[in-house]
A and B are shown apart, each in its own frame.
Chain A
């Protein structure tokens, strides 16, 4: 999966006789068998456990780990699964949530169960950053910090002197709660990089943050209410921190609410894994953990009708259902209020409609909702842009680059650029396609110490 495509990340790497599967994601766009990677492709008939040496999950987004229980329990895999500690902690929550939506709401059968998620998690081995884990005698893996979301990591897979670095999703510019991805000059034979923003160079984050804060602040000062529909994890925390520190700095009094449920649990993990966050949070947590919000309180349904200004974070992020939609309907009629969409909206959702300027919405039950509130769009996205990708390549100095997790057309551009700037070959295989990369294996030679020293002495002499 993820070849010239976004979603369903699943990459199989055979390196020096070892087989490693990188990520095991699902595709958001499909509801049939295509949502999971085709695991039969790997072995045809044999057992997966025999074929794969290990599975590595880079972070907890469902397009990177969504198919894990299906893969390990239903298809059958008993080998080790590696992920970082925060990923291991948060991943089951998301999987459970995903399961609930598909099974309980849509009534699908033949889906993995809660028990399966639990069983699957038992197979997970958690790793620390920069910890070298020996999977077996020859295969070793090592995690690097990747930014993007809490616990996201890049993995270096090394067998003998051949190595591959898989980036997962990463972010080269630090944000309010996470740092930037970092890798040392490990010179891997192959760098497998995501390329979501292959053709984009973004403006400085500060402008966006400033705009965001200014808009919220103005609305609150006017006495209006601000609705920010978010997904429970990732950006939500960043925006929370942003608002929290702003409130702190400016001594503002208006309440900020956070819709309950999933998010609270997630916040708890953010509090726990403080070492994975950015410099500021790490430095100040002794005085106060930034995730112990002073101004942000849990939201209750009744609060939506309270008078006076307030800011509410509500799920889900595209205003297609749930709490955020309810609040939206309550507040849409007042022009003092504002809704800020911090992310992308899929076509067909309410979010997409209002962003494209529709002012009259037809809700279920034929009633027409007139939107008088202000609608703002603001992109807070945590993928590396083209410059970031190039920067990472420069840092790691790989001998080959392979692009995944992006659109084919955009990859083409980046591929050309990479080849031009670094003079390394670059690949962008489609799903199911295999790329073979030749390496120059180095052959270790035993040599007596005396001889080596003598040689060195002669060689060094000017």
Chain B
């Protein structure tokens, strides 16, 4: 056999060499490939000691091998394998074989026989294990070949009796990955084999080596993942493994039990000590709960995580998890939670002043106390008090998932979640607040619980506070005192952290609209009105007062009796707030107040439609302007743009749409203006001013089109075409202007060619859209294309000029939803008079906090720009982790910007702003516009790097006062 093989190997080898000679003349590239295996052969032959050979193999392994030469290399390796006496070299060869058979495109069935043969003669355990690993790779590469798999599994079964754990490990892994998983419908023999596989693996659950036990369980799980239905009989075996000495085994066993409990939730298992029987899922739940107090935290995390996904468990068991009987000196004691609840229901407030407050009450029957909990008892109590925060987080998550599916459980776990708000690790606190929010529709907070929740409002971490605000947005409060408490605490929060303003207002908005009846009795107190006396009018700019009003107005929306309690100035304030903070203050129907209500109510009832209509009407008007005289067109455009801009300001929902169209019309206006110049036909050099105007217009149009394309979310390909069309027109304009101002023809050649290329690529990219563009610039241009290509630049320019004039204005179809990307820098506020001092040459970190709206993929596009007074600009890429995503379409950037500069004599302001980077190559229509000299030369762009073509500023710049001091010597 070996001799035969050798022969084959040499054949292979010589063949390779021959090929080498043939190819030598034609293709140099291929030369290196076959020589690699040859070189390996030579090297291995040369190698005198095992260490040398190993070295060669290592070097060889570092380089990739091409598909064609894999087989040859494999043969050579095998040959050396047979010759080699040293186990370590054989081991390396075996691992190389595995590596090589992973090569894409190589079909390893040809080497399988050899690999199996080598197995039979191998003595070293490590090499055996490695060979099995290689077989595993081969097996996974041949998923379509059941016979091969069967054979491999047989081989593995044979080696299961090996004395080394490594070999047994690999065998089990192999069986797990390759074992047949066909269902019973398949051939009789195969299903028999499938049973066997499970049995074989099951036998190894009791192996003496923990690693093998783990491997056995993992193999079982692997089988499950591949679709084999595991037998219920395994359950009892797995339960025994839960008490294993080794944590990997326990951890794997927990997983297996979980899998089984999901497979057979309803089957009945007996309780060992008694005659009772319970559902398997309940039993498994109890067992996994038990593992929450395991000695190893890895197992605890796993157990806690899995608990969350066991939703079929019966509520009786579920509620036990929160149960912990307290006792003191053998007498039953109530937990603090129970006491709080009792106090609440008896109408008292917790005094907490008595020493004997928690004095134990009734005697407990010593026999009834079960110290080792039988199953689920107190699993979460333990999990939430665990030493490792990983376990606590897992427990909170599990609580969340279970509570979402069971309202009664949600009610019960509330106390525990509230307790977690005071955890020492911020992540845990945050997680529990989020959890609470998720289950908030199922629960109503008691006053004492609310108290604890609200105490967290003073937390110095912004994330926590905002999470809490969001929680409050969707909680149910049971009493009016609760509302009052919440309001008071929120106002306290507002004075302590004024930056939370927006978030608090929003929170109060929801609080008000959820609890109108609870707010009603509080109104006189909140507005400090008095039945007889007029009270002074509060300051309208006070954020706290606004907060109160937001609460009241939102409550009044569904409580018609409330406005009767308002005093005059409240109505005035309402009108003001409705206008200035329209997203927070709802439209109200105010009876008996015609003055106010008439102004407001019509726009409430059906304001949606008229403005939409208005938008469309004005656009309609614009699109029909063809028959107007040039002057009229310009005026119409100007008016429409103004109208649209105003509309955008008034109606936040339509802002995106209005701005978008306004920008488009603006472009058109600029284009018309530039073309309308009466003096176009006069010799260029004399009218520099006109030229400057036209080129400025072209430049602005280009910028605006980029904005249109990249700053709005929801832009569809129809719009993109039109935007690109506009850009093309601008470029044509630019070309014309340049042609008129430059002397000589040479530079024009290049530019013309560029332009024509662009027209060409436009045509290619938007071929499907062209039929919609009758009479447009590009339509005409394409008709003239043959002429353009052949004519001289000066003619091209002329043609362009006329086409540009004659072309019609394209309608911009509006998409359904259009939102403009906006950013608002919350921090730094730019109001500070104290300069940020730092030593020059060192860096200072500036905290930047901004909200982004409707930005797609902020991680890739949003950049921070810092402008120094000397004109130096820095572009900073925030880390992906700095972006948080609090809601759909909203992002939050919290990052640090590092500033540094040489020493200044006095403090000066720098500007910080956010930029939106874009790259037209990656745009939605996947336009393949080559980076043109146009955009580079004409738009003063910062040096583009890694695919950023340009940037659009999309936030207001914020000024920061800084002062780099000279370093002390």
User: Chain A: residues with CB nearer than 8 A to chain B?
Assistant: 173-174, 176, 179-180, 182-185, 199-211, 213-215, 217, 245, 248-251, 278-280, 355-357, 374-377, 386-387, 390-391, 394-395, 410, 413, 416-417, 421, 453, 456-457, 460-462
CB-CB contacts below 8 Å: B239-258 with A: 245
Could you say which residues of chain A place their CB within 8 Å of the CB of B161? 457, 460-462
- Pick the residue among B163, B330, B422, B459 that contacts A210 (CB under 8 A): B422
Q: Is A200's CB under 8 angstroms from B327's CB?
A: yes
**Binary interface encoding of chain B residues 354-376 relative to chain A, with 1 for a CB under 8 A from any of its CBs, else 0:** 01001000000010010110000
Contact between A394 and B387, CB atoms less than 8 A apart:
no
B424 x A280 contact (CB < 8 A): yes
Residues of B within 8 A of A376 (CB): 352-353
Q: At the interface, yes or no: B816 with Cβ under 8 Å from chain A?
A: no
* The residue from B369, B387, B496 contacting A179, defined by CB atoms under 8 A apart: B387
Task: Tell me the minimal C-beta distance from B262 to chain A in angstroms.
Answer: 27
Do B326 and A201 touch (CB < 8 A)?
Answer: yes
Contact A214 B163 (CB under 8 A): no
- Given A203-B326, A210-B452, 17 more A-B residue pairs with CB atoms under 8 Å apart are A179-B387, A200-B329, A201-B324, A201-B371, A206-B422, A207-B419, A208-B336, A214-B452, A249-B460, A279-B388, A280-B389, A375-B355, A377-B355, A453-B163, A457-B163, A460-B161, A462-B161
Given contacts A203-B326, A421-B372, A453-B163, contact A210 B385 (CB under 8 A): no
**Contact status B371-A421, CB under 8 Å:** yes
**B424 with A375: CB separation less than 8 A:** no
- 13 pairs of residues in contact across A and B, judged by CB atoms under 8 Å: A201-B324, A201-B327, A204-B324, A204-B381, A206-B384, A206-B423, A213-B422, A245-B424, A251-B496, A279-B387, A355-B355, A375-B353, A377-B355
Contact B352 A215 (CB under 8 A): yes
Q: A417 and B353 in contact (CB under 8 A), knowing A204-B381, A207-B337, A280-B425?
A: no
The CA-CA distance from A150 to B293 in the complex, in Å, is 23
Partner of A174, one of B353, B385, B422: B385
B677 at the interface (CB under 8 A from A): no
Q: Count A-B pairs with CB separation below 8 Å.
A: 117
- In the A-B complex, the 9 residue pairs with the smallest Cβ-Cβ separation, listed nearest first, are A207-B336, A174-B387, A206-B419, A250-B458, A377-B355, A199-B330, A180-B387, A390-B371, A251-B460
Cβ-defined contact, B452 with A174, below 8 A: no
Of B333, B366, B385, B387, the most chain A CB neighbours within 10 A belong to B387
Minimum C-beta distance from B564 to chain A (A): 37
Contact for A182 among B295, B423, B452, CB less than 8 A: B295
Q: Which residue of A lies closest to B428 (CB)?
A: A280
A-side contacts of B419, CB under 8 Å:
204, 206-207, 210
Evaluate contact between A200 and B328: CB separation under 8 angstroms.
yes
How far, in angstroms, from A430 to B71 measured CA to CA in the complex?
79
Q: By CB atoms of chain B within 10 A, which of A183, A184, A453 has the most?
A: A184
Q: Is the CB of B355 within 8 A of A356?
A: yes
- How distant is B539 from chain A, measured CB to nearest CB, in Å? 26
Q: Interface readout for B500-520 with A: 1 if CB under 8 Å, 0 if not?
A: 000000000000000000000
| Cα–Cα distance between A139 and B619 once the two chains are bound (Å) | 95
Chain A residues near B452 (CB-CB < 8 A): 210, 214
From the candidates B203, B355, B369, B416, name the one contacting A462 in the complex (CB within 8 A).
B203
Shortest Cβ distance from B492 into A: residue: A221
Indicate if B386 sits at the interface (CB-CB under 8 A): yes
Partner of B352, one of A185, A201, A211, A213: A211
With beta carbons under 8 angstroms apart, the residue of B295, B327, B420 that contacts A206 is: B420
Quick one: closest B residue to A204, CB to CB? B385
Q: Is the CB of B245 within 8 A of A460?
A: no
> A416 contacts B366, CB within 8 Å?
yes
Give the dominant DSSP class at A's interface.
helix
**Does B335 belong to the interface (CB within 8 Å)?**
yes
Q: Once bound together, how far apart are the Cα atoms of A265 and B606, in whole Å?
A: 74
User: Residues of B at under 8 Å CB distance from A?
Assistant: 161, 163, 203, 245, 293, 295, 324-330, 333, 335-337, 352-353, 355, 358, 366, 369, 371-372, 381, 384-389, 416, 419-420, 422-425, 452, 455, 458-461, 496
Q: Give CA–CA (A213, B459) in the complex, Å.
A: 13
Q: Which residues of B contact A460 (CB under 8 A)?
A: 161, 163
Please indicate the chain B residues that have their CB under 8 angstroms from the CB of A387 in the complex: 371
Q: Are B355 and A279 in contact (CB under 8 A)?
A: no
Complexed CA–CA distance, A215 and B496 (Å): 21
Which residues of the partner chain B approach A280 to less than 8 Å between Cβ atoms?
A: 389, 424-425
Q: How far is the CB of B419 from chain A (nearest CB, A)?
A: 4
Contacts of A278 in B (CB 8 A): 387
Q: Are B385 and A173 in contact (CB under 8 A)?
A: yes
Task: Contact check, A205 vs B461: say whether CB atoms are below 8 A apart.
Answer: no
With A and B bound together, what is the CA distance between A416 and B386 in angstroms? 28
Contact between chains at B369 and A410 (CB < 8 Å):
no
Do A413 and B459 have beta carbons less than 8 Å apart? no
CA distance in complex: A374, B354 (Å): 10
User: Which residues of B have CB within 8 Å of A217?
Assistant: 455
A390 to B381, CA, bound (A): 16
A185 to B294, CA, bound (A): 11
Which residues of B have CB within 8 Å of A184? 295
CA distance A338 to B372 in the complex (A): 40
Which residue of B352, B358, B422 is within 8 Å of A209 (Cβ)? B422
Q: How far is the CA of A265 from the CA of B523 in the complex (A)?
A: 57
Q: Nearest Cβ distance between residue B455 and chain A, in whole angstroms?
A: 7
Contacts of B336 in A (CB 8 A): 203-204, 207-208, 211
Residues from chain B with Cβ under 8 Å of A182 in the complex: 295
CA distance A248 to B452 in the complex (A): 18
Complex Cα gap A361–B216 (Å): 72
Say yes or no: B295 contacts A413, CB within 8 Å: no
**In the complex, what residues of B have CB within 8 A of residue A210's CB?**
419, 422, 452
Q: In the complex, what distance in Å separates the CA atom of A274 from the CA atom of B769? A: 69
A173 cross-chain contacts in B, Cβ below 8 A: 385
Asked if residues A206 and B455 are in contact (CB atoms below 8 Å), the reply is: no
Given A214-B455, A394-B372, A456-B163: A201 and B385 within 8 A (CB)? no
Nearest-neighbor residue (CB-CB) of B324 within chain A: A201
Cα separation A173 to B381 with both chains bound (whole Å)? 11
Q: Tell whether, in the assembled complex, residue A249 and residue B371 are in contact, meaning their CB atoms are under 8 Å apart.
A: no
Please name all residues of chain A whose beta carbon is closer than 8 Å to the beta carbon of B293 when the two chains form the complex.
Answer: 391
What is the CB-to-nearest-CB distance from A219 to chain B, in angstroms, rounded to a whole number? 12
| B330 engages A248 (CB within 8 Å) | no
Query: Could you say which of A204, A205, A217, A386 has the most chain B C-beta atoms within 10 Å of its C-beta?
Result: A204
Tell me, in angstroms, the Cα distance from A410 to B371 when the chains sit together: 14
Chain A residue at minimal CB-CB distance from B295: A395
**Are B372 and A390 within 8 A (Cβ)?**
yes
Determine the distance from Cα of A205 to Cα of B326 in the docked complex, in whole angstroms: 13
**CB–CB B329/A205 < 8 A:** no
A205-B385 contact given A182-B295, A374-B353, A410-B329, CB 8 Å threshold: yes
Give which listed residue, A203, A209, A391, A413, contacts B366 with CB less than 8 A.
A413
Q: Smallest Cβ distance from A387 to chain B, in angstroms?
A: 6
User: Which A residues are CB-close (under 8 A) to B353?
Assistant: 374-376
Chain A hits for B163, CB < 8 A: 453, 456-457, 460
By the criterion CB–CB under 8 Å, are B459 and A250 in contact? yes
Q: Give CA–CA (A311, B220) in the complex, Å.
A: 59
Q: Let me know if A357 and B355 touch, CB within 8 A.
A: yes
Residue of A174, A179, A201, A390 with most partner-chain B CB within 10 A:
A201
Closest to B358 in A: A203
Q: How far is the CA of A391 from the CA of B386 in the complex (A)?
A: 13
Chain A residues near B458 (CB-CB < 8 A): 249-251
Shortest Cβ distance from residue A201 to the other chain B in the assembled complex, whole angstroms: 5
Cα(A359)–Cα(B99), bound, Å: 83
Chain B residues with CB under 8 A of A185: 245, 295
Docked pose: A251 CA to B497 CA in angstroms: 10
Chain B residues with Cβ under 8 A from A357's Cβ? 355
Residues of A close to B355: CB separation below 8 A: 355-357, 375, 377
Task: State in angstroms the CA–CA spacing of A19 and B203 once bound together.
Answer: 45
Contacts of A205 in B (CB 8 A): 385
Contacts of B460 in A (CB 8 A): 248-251
CA distance A254 to B629 in the complex (A): 76
In the complex, A203→B328 CA distance in Å?
A: 10
Q: What is the bound-complex CA distance between A278 and B423, given in angstroms?
A: 14
